[in-house]
Structure 1
Amino acid sequence: MVLGILVGKLFGLGVSKETDTLINLGIFELSLKGFFVEGIFHVGGQIFITSLKMLVVPLVFVSLVCGTCSLNDSAKIGRLGVKSLALYLITTAIAITLALSVATFIEPGQGFTLQTQTEFTPKPAPSFVEVVLGMFPSNPIDAMAKGNMLQIIVFAILFGIAMALSGKAGERLSALFFDLNEVIMKLVAILMNLAPYGVFFLMAKLFTYLDYLAIEPLIWYFLTVLAVLFIHALITYPLILKFLSGLNPVIFLTKMKEAALFAFSTSSSNATMPITMRTVTEKMGVNNSVSSFTVPLGATINMDGTAIMQGVATVFIAQVFAIDLSMADYVAVLLTATLASIGAAGVPGVGLILLAMVFQQVGLPVEGIALIIGVDRLLDMTRTAVNVTGDSMVSCIVAKSEKELDMAKFNKPM
């Protein structure tokens, strides 16, 4: 990652979106942008991301079916769902409360010179009824083809329950699924060998074009979001983990390093899911029957990092446009962002969609989102790392409460 950042900055000295550097080799000229940045770096990075995404649907479906059919207890499935959902919603509520409090204290929008860099048109957000209906697939194959994670989770749970209730036929089929799960995890292990190269390519291309001048006028907004993300990941999560499970937060954060770095480089909780699953099962000792449920659910609905961005952005835009928000407005922001994190999770550009919903709820101009788009890329990387850390923390807490956590494996040094 560090090498990719350095190489990207070196290329950035001679390559920009508008201009290019040509090297005359006598017979032909070599384009730095065309050959390295848009060629090797782009192709290598996209192959790596695509390979990660390739594993997501089979990993979630197969592991969740294995976990569900091995429970043999429908009440336990209900407990897993209630505990996981409650913890994800609580941590999201804490995240946005923390963001609103810190942003109100720092006042990042004071003295900001209003200048819209680009236009923003929000996509329509789904209603609550559409969210509920959208959880149930009319065509499971279509849901898998489109990567609709909530529908895949629901179908996998129902399929696993049916297998558990099907006697000998279910036992034969479960043996096949457990073998498939082993093969998929081996695929994840193979991909890990290519990970350093993929991360290098992603970082090299990103930092070639990264415009630090866009951050300068928004420096207080940028630093405020970054500070709250670090507080939530390094203080809130460890405190919740220690209080609810008694587990050692230092061990947890140490073992999260690999998954967090992957999340940072890919900016996608879904793409990082194979690594998150591997981390909580192999390094932290969470039983697959729990991790196969909590990790996919968290990658779909856990929006702590996005909630933090929404809280800071709400205060920032209100100050820029000199709009006073009441305590009722802050409560509305808290409720809207927390509950909407479930519904809009499967929609592309989820962060900006949710932010548009929040702005409309409290009467802020949606066009204000255009002010912060320029610095959102780096923040998106960081908040994805926070989201993945939250997914793993909830997995450990739920597993400990269900006595499905291998303490010897959790406490084992890296």
Structure 2
Amino acid sequence: MNKIRNTNLTIQIITMTILGVVIGASFGQYLGFLDVLGEIFLRLIQMSIVVLIMGQIIEAVGNLNPKGLGKIGLKTFGLFLFSSLIAAVIGVTAGTVFNPGSGVNTSSMDVSGEAFETTSAGTIPELVLDFFPTNIFNAMAEGIIVQVIVFALIFGIALSFVRIEQKENSILEWIKQINAIVLKMIGLIMKLAPIGIFAIIVSTISKMGLSVILPMGKYLIVYGFATAMYLLIWFIVTSIYLKVSIIQLTRNMIEMSLVALTTTSSAITLPTALHDSKEKLGISDRIAKLVLPLGMSLNSNGSSMHMAITIVTIAQIYGVTYQMSDFVYIVILSTMASLANAVVPGAGLVSLSIVIPSMGLPIESIALFAGIDWFVGMLRTVLNVDSDTTTALIIAKSENELDYDIFNR
């Protein structure tokens, strides 16, 4: 039932995006009042973003057993972090090299770049220092997402220790219920997405013209190429470490990859991934049951790459330029924001609403990507699932819990 509802919402968003382009190009100059509807929709999403991020990360980390994870846990988190960083780096590199956001005439827009100047990352030491809040309430009020994530990670770790020491989980249960309410609220807000996106598209097309649509095809091609490059590199590294054939590795993972591609859901793909990890890849039951569920919650290479390449594309559309320290900030911001994945309809748009304002870019720009979000979701999910599984393979090999007879069967 949830899958049907999500599909219906996807169809509605795509339909209203197309309708918005047609009406915006034909009658946009007469529909200026739609700006308000679009702005209301964006504000409804934004108002719960900070609570969503904090809650999701605190729940995911607070559920862990830091004493029980030990060496395997450290290896797993290290690989999660490294792989997500690499995904973001490839996303930024692909966006910079292929320039998918070029070709849009922004002369009719008020794009002075001043907003970017106030949010520029500055030097590397300043960038690192800015990760740590002096006052979490101030960081929440100003929407400094990286600082909110750092606080949530530390709070979640402390909560996991207290939960184990006191054998008490009332605070965690309370956080889970708050998260459920926030997710339900976002789900209700996303029911308005077709109308809100239609209003934003009409307004944007009336101001910037049809040329703003042209980068979307380039963006999708570049994102697909970046995804393929990441998987190729990661599969080569994995096969070399495991000392196996990359062809056999690909063959053993093809079924779960197809399920991820067609369902666009890591949660739906998890049972298939668990089965194939043990029956086709030879990963021990202990490693598979630890790494794959953790990866679904904490490891999202697809989202990390998605956010990184989209930031660069939007910056190109609006004529914003970056320094090297800003690219570093984008990579780290995208990696950390990928920890706060929300399993809600239109999760890709929700994720973008986290990072786009953090770079001083106009949040209404995310509506331009609504019509292709389903296709992006296919690539994003394959990247997430395959990365989780290869991480499990590497961990299993390092712990001598990989059955090569099953793998090569």
**TM-score in same-fold range (> 0.5):** yes
Q: How far, CA to CA, are the matches of 1:275 and 1:394 in structure 2? A: 16
For 1:130, which of 144, 149, 152 is the aligned residue?
152
Matching residue within 253, 256, 261 for 1:256? 253
Cα distance, 1:128 vs structure 2: 3.4
Matched, 1:381 2:370: no
Per-residue CA distance 1:172-208 (angstroms, 9 max, x = gap): xxxxxxxxxxxxxxxxxxxxxxxxxxxxxxxxxxxxx
Does residue 330 of the first structure (1) align with residue 327 of the second (2)?
Answer: yes
Aligned to 2:356: 359
Q: Is 1:284 aligned to 2:281, yes or no?
A: yes
Contact 2:100/2:215, CA 8 A, preserved across alignment = no
Q: Corresponding residue for 2:90?
A: 98
Give the CA deviation at 1:345: 2.5
Query: Any conservation in 1 of the 2:300–2:338 contact (CA below 8 Å)?
Result: yes
Q: Separation in 2 of the partners of 1:145 and 1:296?
A: 20
Q: Select the residue among 81, 85, 100 that pairs with 2:77.
A: 85
Write the mapping of 1:12-411 to structure 2, written as runs, cut at 5 A: 77-112=69-104, 127-133=149-155, 136=160, 137-138=169-170, 218-233=216-231, 235-342=232-339, 344-346=340-342, 348=344, 349-411=346-408
Count of aligned pairs: 276
Contact residue 314 and residue 365 of structure 2 kept, 8 A: yes
Q: How far apart are 1:374 and its partner, in Å?
A: 1.3
Q: Which runs of 5+ in 2 are unaligned?
A: 1-6, 18-62, 110-142, 161-168, 181-209
Counterpart contact for 2:348–2:373, Cα < 8 Å: no
Identity, % of aligned pairs?
28
Kept after mapping to 2: 8 A contact 1:270/1:300: no
Partner Cα distance (2:213, 2:226) in 1 = 17
Secondary structure of the 1:364 match is coil
Query: Structure 2 vs 1, CA of residues 96 and 17 (structure 1 numbering), >3 Å: closer, same or farther?
Result: closer
Mapped partners of 1:315, 1:141: distance in 2: 38
1:297 counterpart letter in structure 2: L
Q: TM-score, normalised by structure 2?
A: 0.60
Letter of the structure 1 residue corresponding to residue 227 of structure 2: L
Q: Distance in 1 between matches of 2:269 and 2:171?
A: 26
Distance 1:338 1:237, change over 3 A: same
Task: Indicate how the Cα distance of structure 1 residues 297 and 371 shifts in structure 2: closer, same or farther if over 3 A, else same.
Answer: same
The aligned counterpart of 1:54 is none
**Cα offset, 1:267, TM superposition:** 1.1
The amino acid across from 1:262 in the alignment is V
RMSD: 3.6
Output the CA distance in 2 between the equivalents of 1:258 and 1:313: 29
SS at match of 2:101: coil
Q: Using the alignment, how far apart are the partners of 2:173 and 2:278 within structure 1?
A: 27
- Residue 215 (structure 1) shift: 7.4
Partners of 1:131 and 1:352 in 2: CA distance: 23
Contact 2:87 2:230 in 1 (8 A): yes
Q: Is the 8 A contact 2:341 2:351 kept in 1?
A: no
Per the alignment, do residues 265 and 347 of structure 1 end up closer, same or farther by CA in structure 2, a change over 3 Å counting? closer
Separation (CA, whole Å) in 2 of partners of 1:263 and 1:398: 22
Work out the CA distance in 2 between the residues paired with 1:258 and 1:144: 33
Q: Structure 1 residues 146 and 239 mapped into 2: Cα distance closer, same or farther (>3 Å)?
A: farther
Does the 8 Å contact 2:304/2:337 carry over to 1?
A: no
Distance in 1 of aligned mates of 2:241 and 2:269? 26
Amino acid in the other structure paired with 2:76: S
Q: Which moved more, 1:348-357 or 1:294-303?
A: 348-357
Question: Which of these two proteins has the greater Rg computed from alpha carbons?
Answer: 1
Is contact 2:149–2:337 with CA below 8 Å preserved after alignment? Answer: no
